[in-house]
């Protein structure tokens, strides 16, 4: 039995890998506490609770739309867990969000020309049907407001569909994606052309048109709208990288919001359901043959008003207090909220579970970090990183006056997880080249766990952006995407079944290592020169 094999077989029995694979002190930064890093690994490899956390958050509390009772319960549970591990300053910080939304009931079926139950899901922030309804489906084609007139008086009591048939391509692409050497090489280079500019003016015009169309349809007496989700496969050009994953169809539905959540406007839209593309297409193909289609719907949803002192948005906070540098802070975080069509397991119970587990491990091994390590579980991420932005405004930076608050100077770094259940392979450093040698100096002790990439480019799309936007060092870990792009992101199949235990275990070890090293080093993580500029919109969430 070779030494390597001996170690691997011992690893299966115990945590022996820690002593065997960690580099010697002369290979790494002298401030790194190898004994503590070994203890972190050993605790996680032998006593991991990461799947248990994820199971509570996703299976037990269910879909966690911001402002829902499910999210409140998950937040309460997270605080109880943190307190039970001895974290201090455990509390929630509420922020004004708008109306909360929950789904109470849904079913949908084709009734004529023959019966078929439909796979679909109501869009969040849309109203219900006020009981069971059966109505004829009508195809409506409106490209501009002039088109409204031709439907005046013709839509009373109808269910409408706006999109044409979408061709379903046979699944021949990649469904499960890990970082390949080629993709890593691409990510580690800097693109010399930024993301395509513009789009926001076009998006704003489209939003106004959509709102006017909804108002017209409601006035005309339309009872519901069916769609088949967005056309985009989302998978190419994500982070400007050539991901080759293909989105799965076959009963997987990608569903997001269908209406505003601001208190004054919430609910002023049609009941809306996104159907599996194959079922949507069948309805249209029958209608194209001149045969009427009748669909039965029963949707019940509820909106929750904000109460003074109990606003619908909240973040959960907990801390491991620092010692000689306790006034300085290292933050880790992930968003606790989710979309509604599944249990938000990979987006983002996975990230929350790994970050909570990192805190649990650090407590379990008796870590005494020099700086305070703080965890934040964000709300409102899916509606535009609203929780982390509220936190920035109340603790670090007044975005209205562009004035730094007192705590601005005290944050060393914020680390975020929000790319699903895949293991961590490196860090997007947001163009902060001064951070690069520091992270690289930690890689020797993480190399055997597959962590060794630095991607220089700035990415956007989750809560680290809120920090980066105001000049604070906020970083997103680079994760293996696995089925995130193809199957689980914002879909009805984002369930605990898709979580990968070994990857989550690795994520917890790496997050704890980064947090601890950041808390122990002599200096804080260096910052970029900060030039205030408007928020960038892209997607790595």
Strand boundaries in 58-195, DSSP class E = 88-95, 100-112, 116-117, 120-122, 132-139, 159-161
Least distance in Å: CB of 240 to Zn ion?
A: 19
DSSP letter (8 states) at residue 346: I
Q: Which of residues 329-388 bind Zn ion (CB under 5 A)?
A: 347-348
- Considering CB under 5 A, how many residues would be counted as binding Zn ion? 4
Least distance in Å: CB of 357 to Zn ion?
A: 18
The order of strands in the sheet holding 453-455 is: 88-95, 313-320, 371-378, 325-335, 411-416, 474-479, 424-428, 453-455
Least distance in Å: CB of 123 to Zn ion?
A: 17
Least distance in Å: CB of 507 to Zn ion?
A: 14
Compare residues 313 and 322 and give the one whose CB is closer to Zn ion.
313
Q: Which of residues 166-205 bind Zn ion (CB under 5 A)?
A: none
Q: Which segment (128-136, 196-204, 415-423, 442-450) binds Zn ion by CB under 5 A?
A: 415-423
Compare residues 296 and 469 and give the one whose CB is closer to Zn ion.
469
- Contact status, residue 429 vs residue 455, Cβ threshold 8 Å: yes
Q: Tokens standing for 320?
A: 């491991």
Least distance in Å: CB of 269 to Zn ion?
A: 24
Compare residues 481 and 541 and give the one whose CB is closer to Zn ion.
541
Q: Among candidates 408, 328, 333, which has minimal Cα distance to 370?
A: 328
Compare residues 260 and 333 and give the one whose CB is closer to Zn ion.
333
Compare residues 41 and 123 and give the one whose CB is closer to Zn ion.
123
- Contact status, residue 177 vs residue 486, Cβ threshold 8 Å: yes
Angle between helices 34-47 and 350-364 (to 10 degrees): 120
d(CA 172, CA 210): 34
Least distance in Å: CB of 395 to Zn ion?
A: 22
| String of contacts with Zn ion for each residue 255-274, x by CB under 5 A | --------------------
Single residue of 53, 228, 481, 541 touching Zn ion by CB under 5 A: 541
Q: Which segment (129-137, 353-361, 411-419, 512-520) binds Zn ion by CB under 5 A?
A: 411-419
- Contact status, residue 369 vs residue 330, Cβ threshold 8 Å: yes
Q: Which segment (115-123, 230-238, 304-312, 533-541) binds Zn ion by CB under 5 A?
A: 533-541
Q: How far is CA 223 from the centre of its chain?
A: 32
Least distance in Å: CB of 337 to Zn ion?
A: 8
Count of helices and strands (H, E) across the chain:
13, 18
- Contact status, residue 121 vs residue 99, Cβ threshold 8 Å: no
Q: Among candidates 484, 222, 244, which has minimal Cα distance to 344?
A: 484
Q: Which segment (125-133, 282-290, 410-418, 516-524) binds Zn ion by CB under 5 A?
A: 410-418
Compare residues 223 and 511 and give the one whose CB is closer to Zn ion.
511
Least distance in Å: CB of 382 to Zn ion?
A: 7
Q: How far is CA 493 from CA 63, 413, 488, in A?
A: 12, 33, 6
How many CA atoms lie less than 13 Å away from 533 in the CB half-sphere? 7
Least distance in Å: CB of 23 to Zn ion?
A: 34
Q: Which segment (6-14, 289-297, 418-426, 501-509) binds Zn ion by CB under 5 A?
A: 418-426
The answer to whether residue 418 forms part of the interface with Zn ion (CB under 5 A) is yes
Compare residues 521 and 541 and give the one whose CB is closer to Zn ion.
541
By CB under 5 A, name the binding residues for Zn ion.
347-348, 418, 541
């Amino acid at each position: 039995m070779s030494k390597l094999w001996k170690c691997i077989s011992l690893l299966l029995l115990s945590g022996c890998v820690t002593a065997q694979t960690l580099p010697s002190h002369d290979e790494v930064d002298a401030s790194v506490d190898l004994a503590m890093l070994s203890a972190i690994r050993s605790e996680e490899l032998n006593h991991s609770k990461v799947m248990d956390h994820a199971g509570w958050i996703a299976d037990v509390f269910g879909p966690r739309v911001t402002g829902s009772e499910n999210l409140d319960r998950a937040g309460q549970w997270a605080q109880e867990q943190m307190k039970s591990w001895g974290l201090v300053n455990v509390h929630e910080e509420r922020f004004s969000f708008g109306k909360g939304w929950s789904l109470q009931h849904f079913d949908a079926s084709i009734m004529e020309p023959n019966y078929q139950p439909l796979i679909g899901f109501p869009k969040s922030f849309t109203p219900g049907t006020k009981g069971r309804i059966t109505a004829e489906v009508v195809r409506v084609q409106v490209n501009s407001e002039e088109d409204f007139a031709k439907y005046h008086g013709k839509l009373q009591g109808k269910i409408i569909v706006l999109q044409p048939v979408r061709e379903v391509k046979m699944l021949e692409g990649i469904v499960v994606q890990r970082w390949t050497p080629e993709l890593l090489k691409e990510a580690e280079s800097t693109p010399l052309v930024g993301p395509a500019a513009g789009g926001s003016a076009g998006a704003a015009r489209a939003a106004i048109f959509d709102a006017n169309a909804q108002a017209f349809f409601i006035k005309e007496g339309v009872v519901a709208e069916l769609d088949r989700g967005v056309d985009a496969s989302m998978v190419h050009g994500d982070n400007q990288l050539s991901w080759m994953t293909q989105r799965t169809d076959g009963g997987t539905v990608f569903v997001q919001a269908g209406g505003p959540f601001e208190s004054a406007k919430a609910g002023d839209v049609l009941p809306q359901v996104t159907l599996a593309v194959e079922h949507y297409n069948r309805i249209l193909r029958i209608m194209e043959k001149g045969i009427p289609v009748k669909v039965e719907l029963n949707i019940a949803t509820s909106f929750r008003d904000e109460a003074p002192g109990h606003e619908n948005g909240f973040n959960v906070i907990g801390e491991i207090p620092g010692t000689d540098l306790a006034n300085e802070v290292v933050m880790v975080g992930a968003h606790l909220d989710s979309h509604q069509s599944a249990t938000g397991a990979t987006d983002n119970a996975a990230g929350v579970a790994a970050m909570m587990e990192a805190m649990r491990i650090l407590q379990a091994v008796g870590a005494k970090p020099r700086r305070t390590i703080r965890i934040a579980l964000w709300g409102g991420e899916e509606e535009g990183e609203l929780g982390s932005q509220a936190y920035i405004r109340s603790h670090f930076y007044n975005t209205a006056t562009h004035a730094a608050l007192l705590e601005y100077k005290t944050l060393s770094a914020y680390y975020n997880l929000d790319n699903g259940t895949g293991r961590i392979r490196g860090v997007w450093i947001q163009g902060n080249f001064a951070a690069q040698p520091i992270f690289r100096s930690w890689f020797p002790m993480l190399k055997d766990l597959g962590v060794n990439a630095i991607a220089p480019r700035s990415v956007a799309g989750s809560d680290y952006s809120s920090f980066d936007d105001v000049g604070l060092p906020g970083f997103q870990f680079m994760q293996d995407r696995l089925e995130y792009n193809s199957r689980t992101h914002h879909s009805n199949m984002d369930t605990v079944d898709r979580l990968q235990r070994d990857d989550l275990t690795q994520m917890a070890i790496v997050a704890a290592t980064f947090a601890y090293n950041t808390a122990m080093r002599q200096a804080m993580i260096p910052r970029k020169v900060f030039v205030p500029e408007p928020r960038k919109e892209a997607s790595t969430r």
